[in-house]
Amino acid sequence: MAATGSHYHSNLADIRFNLFEVFDRGALLGTGAAEDMDTETALAALQEIDHLCREKISAPFADGDRNPPIYDPKNHSVTIPESTKAAFKAYQDSDWWRLELPAELDGQPTPPTVRWAAMELVLAANPALYMYAAGPKFSQVMYYNGTERDKKIAKIAVERQWGATMVLTEPDAGSDVGAGRTKAYPQPDGTWHIEGVKRFITSGDQDMTDNILHYVLARPVGVEGVGGPGTKGLSLFIVPKFDFDPETGELTGRRNGVYATNVEKKMGLKVSATCELTFGDGEPAVGWLLGEVHDGIAQMFQVIEHARMMVGTKAMATLSTGYLNALEYAKTRVQGADMTNPAKDAPRVTITHHPDVRRSLLTQKANAEALRMLITYCASFQDAVWEARNRGEHDQLAERINDLLLPVVKGYASERAWVQLGSESLQTFGGSGFLQDYPLEQYVRDAKIDTLYEGTTAIQAQDLFFRKIIKDQGVAIGKVSGDIQAWLTSAPAAPGFENERALLGKALADAGAIIQLMTGHAMGSMGDPKKSYLVGLNSTRLLMVLGDVVCAWLMLRAGEVAQATLDGTRTGAESADFYRGKVAAAKWFAQQYLPGVTAEKKKAEAVNLDVMELPESAF
């Protein structure tokens, strides 16, 4: 019983429910900057993108894995498989990527919650394709940080749909970007020559776009006051693959001195060409400094923040389609008898009758839907930032809460998703899950990278604690925690969640205790530097605990909305079984994950310096 048709399964009902029944995004649509995007238009767009994903974008998913891009070391070129090229062209022609662009760049102004809902579909269907198509989005970074000339080039890059890459990592500078050694030499004509080797460059070369703009971090040499050590000494340069006329965008025919010098052989996400790029070996790699600002790391973080949100969304999207594939299989797979009927000749049943399969399916459903809520919740703060900017203002609190949630979106979602995909979704298929007949084995391989690139889980955990909690002086975490507390003491939207609300209250307090414990260690480290190890030993734990608490809260909010719909105290757009499923998933998530927070608090308290004092030879 091999799978037929598209591997891609979407959950438009849950997306719609989240956006409009829980997060009330309808109030935002059709007004202000989203004037041309009312609720009806947004829903129609989601449906059309879903159709495109099913028919075209998802089509080369397996082929791209089995026949990955071909690297030609003679010409330093990368050839993308024809099937992926066709899907890429279909996506480009669809213009849906314009949802992610502002009006200044010929985009279709759309609030981030709706944008991420739309991109969830593309990321579930074919994540590498989303990355190849990200060039126009990068143009925003050039447009908003650049000179008038840069703004013109940004528009050209959108119009011509050029590719783009983020170029930070080097062989000896991965998590530690500040250790990068690539140099930039100023030239009399105002350009810069870049020299160095960069590694792990996603979409570093391809033959689908007429040009590629590389966004490169390098250290300026010979300019007073810039180019010092660490990340703060890095500047951001734009280095095109092909030289072009900045007025018209026409290619001049000159090939710039940046070449793919290797393409990695990987565990998964194989159709995404991960390149080594060599700059200025033999011929100059000419680039220009972005804007006037020698503040490359901050500019690059504008890309990174978007990419971290993208990775969390990709992880969630893969788990969602993985779960729906598993559910479809379980509904038709007949194996064994019902547990309550021990007779040898008892009728065989579909595996959805077996308790362990039900446990697994509900766990997958609860996780996929919780992660979707986490992403929508985070994006709802991006909506506030977006709305304020459109009014010419800043919503600083929303910016800080978005910053706080980003490492949770990236770190927690990626960890949960690939483990769930491997341990539950694939497992539902039994031995068949191990075969390439089904997409699960590829999902697991493709999703593993999400815990690694764009900052590993450990980096997310450090970012969360040191930058987003301590440096923020607890403002954002205080607000989120205060909102959960306020919800707990407010009148429930529907009865029946008393036990789960109590679990949430206890978990919130225990999570707070872990933060307090770690803050104490951080402060203690000023007198005793070794205390900082105690923070490091607990930081990933905190990341996962906060993910559990926030997700449980969001699921319970959704559960109460669903229960109220079933009780008839509000009206909803979906079927009764949809709402029954929401109630069950919400309770399950709270019951299965919240008690674990108390255990994590105990484990955090038990951590001491023994592990750091253990000699290497004892490991």
**Active site (catalytic) residues:** 454
Cβ proximity to ligand ST9: between 183 and 410 the closer is 410
Q: Of residues 38, 55, 197, 301, which one binds ligand ST9 by CB under 6 A?
A: 301
Region of 107-115, 174-182, 427-435, 489-497 interacting with ligand ST9 (CB under 6 A): 174-182
Min separation Cβ 135 and ligand ST9, Å: 9
Q: Is 18 in the site for ligand ST9 (CB under 6 A)?
A: no
Q: Is 103 in the site for ligand ST9 (CB under 6 A)?
A: no
Q: Are 216 and 278 in contact (CB under 8 A)?
A: no
Q: Of residues 302, 519, 525, 591, which one binds ligand ST9 by CB under 6 A?
A: 302
Q: What amino acid is encoded at 597 in this protein?
A: V
- H/E stretch holding 547 reads helix 531-567
Burial of residue 583 (CB within 10 Å: 0-12, 13-18, 19+) is buried
Distance CA 312, CA 368 (A): 12
Q: Which two tokens mark 29? A: 């649509």
Cα 560 vs. chain centroid, distance in angstroms?
27
Q: Are 47 and 121 in contact (CB under 8 A)?
A: no
218: β partners: 235
Residues 198-227 close enough to bind ligand ST9 by CB under 6 A:
202
Residue that the structure tokens 């790391």 belong to: 297
Q: Is 590 in the site for ligand ST9 (CB under 6 A)?
A: no
Min separation Cβ 252 and ligand ST9, Å: 26
Region of 163-171, 243-251, 277-285, 576-584 interacting with ligand ST9 (CB under 6 A): 163-171
Distance CA 46, CA 237 (A): 36
Region of 132-140, 365-373, 417-425, 573-581 interacting with ligand ST9 (CB under 6 A): 132-140
Cβ proximity to ligand ST9: between 445 and 557 the closer is 445
Q: Of residues 230, 482, 495, 520, which one binds ligand ST9 by CB under 6 A?
A: 230
Distance CA 582, CA 585 (A): 5
Cβ proximity to ligand ST9: between 230 and 595 the closer is 230
Distance CA 395, CA 612 (A): 42
Distance CA 535, CA 526 (A): 13
Q: Is 408 in the site for ligand ST9 (CB under 6 A)?
A: no
DSSP-derived secondary structure letter, 468:
I
Q: Of residues 56, 183, 306, 448, which one binds ligand ST9 by CB under 6 A?
A: 306
Min separation Cβ 100 and ligand ST9, Å: 8
Min separation Cβ 233 and ligand ST9, Å: 10
167: β partners: 216
Cβ proximity to ligand ST9: between 323 and 453 the closer is 453
Cβ proximity to ligand ST9: between 173 and 286 the closer is 173
Q: Of residues 304, 379, 544, 583, which one binds ligand ST9 by CB under 6 A?
A: 304
Distance CA 242, CA 290 (A): 18
Residue that the structure tokens 């989240």 belong to: 18
Q: Is 467 in the site for ligand ST9 (CB under 6 A)?
A: yes
| 192-202 vs 212-220, strand pairing mode | unpaired
- Phi-psi category of residue 493: left, alpha or beta, with phi > 0 → left and psi -120 to 50 → alpha: alpha
Distance CA 306, CA 198 (A): 21
Region of 4-12, 38-46, 298-306, 474-482 interacting with ligand ST9 (CB under 6 A): 298-306
Distance CA 336, CA 331 (A): 14
- Phi-psi category of residue 608: left, alpha or beta, with phi > 0 → left and psi -120 to 50 → alpha: beta
Min separation Cβ 452 and ligand ST9, Å: 8
Min separation Cβ 148 and ligand ST9, Å: 19
Q: Is 168 in the site for ligand ST9 (CB under 6 A)?
A: yes
Q: What amino acid is encoded at 612 in this protein?
A: M
Cβ proximity to ligand ST9: between 203 and 367 the closer is 203
Q: Is 469 in the site for ligand ST9 (CB under 6 A)?
A: no
Q: Of residues 268, 455, 547, 559, which one binds ligand ST9 by CB under 6 A?
A: 455
Name all contacts of 577-582 with Cβ < 8 Å and 24+ positions apart: 578/13, 578/17, 581/365, 582/17, 582/369, 582/558
Q: Which two tokens mark 389? A: 């900017």
Region of 241-249, 250-258, 295-303, 419-427 interacting with ligand ST9 (CB under 6 A): 295-303
Distance CA 59, CA 36 (A): 31
User: What backbone torsions phi and psi does residue 568 show, to the nearest 5 degrees?
Assistant: 85, 10
Region of 8-16, 138-146, 527-535, 598-606 interacting with ligand ST9 (CB under 6 A): 138-146
Cβ proximity to ligand ST9: between 272 and 565 the closer is 272
Where does 203-289 show beta strands of DSSP type E? 212-220, 235-240, 242-244, 251-255, 258-263, 274-279, 285-289
DSSP-derived secondary structure letter, 374:
H
Q: Which two tokens mark 384? A: 């506030």
Q: Is 454 in the site for ligand ST9 (CB under 6 A)?
A: yes
Q: Is 558 in the site for ligand ST9 (CB under 6 A)?
A: no
Min separation Cβ 140 and ligand ST9, Å: 4
Residue 613's CB is within 10 A of a number of other CB atoms, namely 10
Q: Is 134 in the site for ligand ST9 (CB under 6 A)?
A: yes
Cβ proximity to ligand ST9: between 518 and 585 the closer is 518
Min separation Cβ 454 and ligand ST9, Å: 4
Min separation Cβ 203 and ligand ST9, Å: 7
192: β partners: 186, 287
Cβ proximity to ligand ST9: between 11 and 169 the closer is 169
Cβ proximity to ligand ST9: between 230 and 478 the closer is 230
Cβ proximity to ligand ST9: between 38 and 305 the closer is 305
Residue that the structure tokens 């810069």 belong to: 192
Region of 136-144, 238-246, 367-375, 488-496 interacting with ligand ST9 (CB under 6 A): 136-144
Q: Of residues 110, 140, 209, 563, which one binds ligand ST9 by CB under 6 A?
A: 140
198: β partners: 277
| 334-337 vs 348-350, strand pairing mode | antiparallel
Q: Is 440 in the site for ligand ST9 (CB under 6 A)?
A: no
Residues that bind ligand ST9 (CB under 6 A): 131, 134, 137-138, 140-141, 166, 168-169, 175, 177-178, 202, 230-231, 297-298, 301-307, 310, 453-455, 459, 463, 467
